[in-house]
A = this chain, B = another copy of it.
Amino acid sequence: MPELRKDPVVGRWVIISTERGRKPSDFSERVEMKHATFCPFCPGNEGTTPPEVLAYRPENSPVNGPGWTVRVVPNKFPALQIEGSINRRAEGLYDKMNGIGAHEVIIEGTDHHVDFADMSEEHIASILWAYRERMVDLRKDKRLRYNLVFKNHGEAAGASLEHTHTQLISTPILPKQVQEELDGSLAYWQVKERCVWCDIVEQEVADGNGKRVVLATPKFASIVPYAARFPFECWILPREHEAAFENQPADDYKELAGVLRETLQRLNLALNFPPYNLVVHTAPNRDSDHEYYHWHIEIMPKLTKVAGFEWGSGFYINPTPPEDAAAYLREVRGPAPKADGAAGSTASPEVPA
């Protein structure tokens, strides 16, 4: 019997095909490196990007020259433009405003061929710290209401450049799904006087059944959500309440980096380097410390093509039960192979039958 499950925050129902559950080996999308001849993100090509707004580099290395380990630059083809005023206005019954905002790229490392998940925990922590530094800085611009940090990994997930990177779009409005999460979280708070996300983490991890847990550390949990829209969707949440990613205690980013790295390595191993989208869901800029919202990271492997229907209806069919997905991810064994075609990358991952 298929099951209909409701997301407890936004109220979205999802069909979970509990009977003909699709296993990792049923999915074939994977990320392939094409080794582009020219890459604007590679060291030596710093002059081909707009000037950096942040870089982690030795003190004596030249700005906009090599030597950096993580580098943040404005997007050369920005979706939103930083100069100008918002100018809200009508067009008949419609509403519009100027496309003011920031669009930046976090270049995550110097090696063109390395997979994000194969970087060291320390290095991933420094990437997450760069997210935070840019978010804190952009929060000062009173025109901007939300910092949307996201990563498209692989061409099928919308990445136009293969050199590993994250994007940050800072918008003068709240993205719809953020608004829905805020509304749903507030409604739950008004009834229960508890954070719904804290309750979710408590039920998933602390209650002890753990069947949707991928891994948990003292401060973070990686779970497959109860009403996952996509097969092998994973969420990473702080176990203690915290509304905004950039307000998380500074000491916690290394532990977070470890949980993110381990989750992505397990996805790589189980699904043979799937394309994915990663989105940081955090509180709005002007309202980043409330009691009912709870930041988290959503990782959505892009394994199925059945997408346009979902876009049109908001109705999702997930062919892999979350409990099965979590079990596969818990049980994958062995070191993750490299994404760039080195030894091991084509071997079938070892997964339970």
A: residues with CB less than 8 A from B are 1-6, 8, 10-13, 15-17, 20, 77, 79-81, 84, 91-99, 148, 150, 152, 155-158, 169, 171-173, 175-178, 180, 196, 199-200, 203, 207, 226-227, 229-230, 275-277, 279, 298, 300, 302, 304-315, 317
> Hey, which chain B residues are within 8 Å of A5, CB to CB?
94-96
Determine whether the beta carbon of B96 is less than 8 Å from that of A279: no
Given A94-B8, A156-B305: A99 in contact with B3 (beta carbons within 8 A): yes
Q: Give the shortest distance, in Å, between A16 (CB) and chain B (any CB).
A: 8
**CB pairs A–B below 8 angstroms (7 shown):** A11-B176, A12-B176, A16-B99, A93-B199, A93-B203, A171-B315, A177-B314
Determine whether the beta carbon of B1 is less than 8 Å from that of A81: yes
Determine whether the beta carbon of B13 is less than 8 Å from that of A176: yes
Copies held by the complex: 2
Determine whether the beta carbon of B1 is less than 8 Å from that of A175: no
A298: nearest residue on chain B (CB-CB)? B312
- Alpha-carbon distance A199/B171, docked complex (angstroms): 29
Determine whether the beta carbon of A229 is less than 8 Å from that of B148: no
Q: Which of B2, B172, B226, B314 has a CB less than 8 Å from the CB of A180?
A: B314
Pairs of residues from A and B, 10 with the lowest C-beta to C-beta distance, nearest first: A2-B99, A277-B308, A176-B314, A177-B314, A279-B312, A158-B306, A175-B315, A6-B95, A175-B313, A92-B203
> Hey, which chain B residues are within 8 Å of A313, CB to CB?
148, 150, 175-178, 279
Determine whether the beta carbon of B315 is less than 8 Å from that of A17: no
A204: nearest residue on chain B (CB-CB)? B92
- Alpha-carbon distance A176/B302, docked complex (angstroms): 21
- Alpha-carbon distance A15/B98, docked complex (angstroms): 9
Q: Which of B173, B180, B305 has a CB less than 8 Å from the CB of A158?
A: B305
Determine whether the beta carbon of B2 is less than 8 Å from that of A81: yes
Q: Which of B13, B300, B308 has a CB less than 8 Å from the CB of A312?
A: B300
Q: Which of B1, B158, B317 has a CB less than 8 Å from the CB of A98?
A: B1
Q: Give the shortest distance, in Å, between A163 (CB) and chain B (any CB).
A: 17
Interface centre among A16, A177, A200, A203 (most CB of B within 10 A): A177
- Alpha-carbon distance A199/B93, docked complex (angstroms): 8
Q: Which of B91, B97, B304 has a CB less than 8 Å from the CB of A226?
A: B91
Determine whether the beta carbon of B148 is less than 8 Å from that of A315: yes
A84: nearest residue on chain B (CB-CB)? B1
- Alpha-carbon distance A298/B312, docked complex (angstroms): 8
Determine whether the beta carbon of A98 is less than 8 Å from that of B4: yes
- Alpha-carbon distance A203/B94, docked complex (angstroms): 10
A173: nearest residue on chain B (CB-CB)? B13
Q: Give the shortest distance, in Å, between A321 (CB) and chain B (any CB).
A: 12
- Alpha-carbon distance A60/B207, docked complex (angstroms): 64
Q: Give the shortest distance, in Å, between A45 (CB) and chain B (any CB).
A: 22
- Alpha-carbon distance A343/B278, docked complex (angstroms): 44
Given A92-B207, A152-B309, A226-B91: A79 in contact with B17 (beta carbons within 8 A): yes
